[in-house]
Structure 1
Amino acid sequence: MKIGVVSDTHRMKKFIDKTIPYLKECDLIIHAGDNFLDSKYIYTLTNVDVMAVRGNCDFENVEEELVFEVEDKTIFLCHGDKYCVKYGIDMLESKAKSINADLVVFGHTHIPLCIQRDEILYLNPGSVSLPREVSYRSFVILDIENGKVQTQEIKI
């Protein structure tokens, strides 16, 4: 299964639009918050189902966290602000282990991150609109097949 992962799009449609050719090719899109309404915009342009959560800059009455299964992998999706991810992923790691997550998708820092700890993959796609600590805008394409997870960072 091919999954597009975006976060921290912040209503900047001129940058979101650059992701659409890639996201149209996905089976699912994950949006890790800031701006939740962008997930609806992305859906209208791709017609691909979107799993999305609210970020710290969102005011919609939607979930802050989701746990769901894809290809026998448990995915924990959150924005990350409630887990103090700007100071590391220790709190996030504790949550991931408590729910037996295989993959954690989060945003908030606007900094791309893809690391594995104790067989859990932590993925922050960076920001499509307002990157920090890198000179490029980014998102990720995940490919989950036969129990294996591969990531491809897309720079725009």
Structure 2
Amino acid sequence: MTTTGPRLETLTPKNVEDALAIRIRPDQEHAVEPVAHSLAEAYVRPEVAWPRLIVDDGRAVGFLMAFLDIDWKGDGTLIRSGLWRLNIAADEQGRGYGRFAVESVAEELRRRGGTEMYVTWHPGPTGPEGFYLGLGFEPNGETSGGQTVGVLKLA
């Protein structure tokens, strides 16, 4: 049996329980909201939220949610898109699913004409800073809610 590798699925009544069952490592829980929180935000902000389940070989391995053309400052002067949430199941980490998720969001943003991708991360030894820096994100000198803001050029 051959596998096709990871893919993104739209959330549906058939797979929402799989998404809700995703658990990250306990030492990462301070750095990202649970999937249920993300789905609630997607429900109340459908105009900017882009939630997807990451599936490989028939199993849910992670969840991502992008933000599309969000009003960053809340005053209409700065519109941005990027990765809002990334939850990779604890026992699936280190297998390239996080990289796949980031690349998938970057591909979607390029498809929509985007030239930059934003992400925020909690600083600290158990945070994902090294992961995002390794993928080419650069801190832009801003913070948002105590988190570092990073940007990846897509052009």
Tell me the TM-score normalized by structure 1: 0.31
Q: Which has the larger radius of gyration?
A: 2
Structure with the greater relative contact order (CA < 8 A, sep ≥ 6): 1 or 2?
1
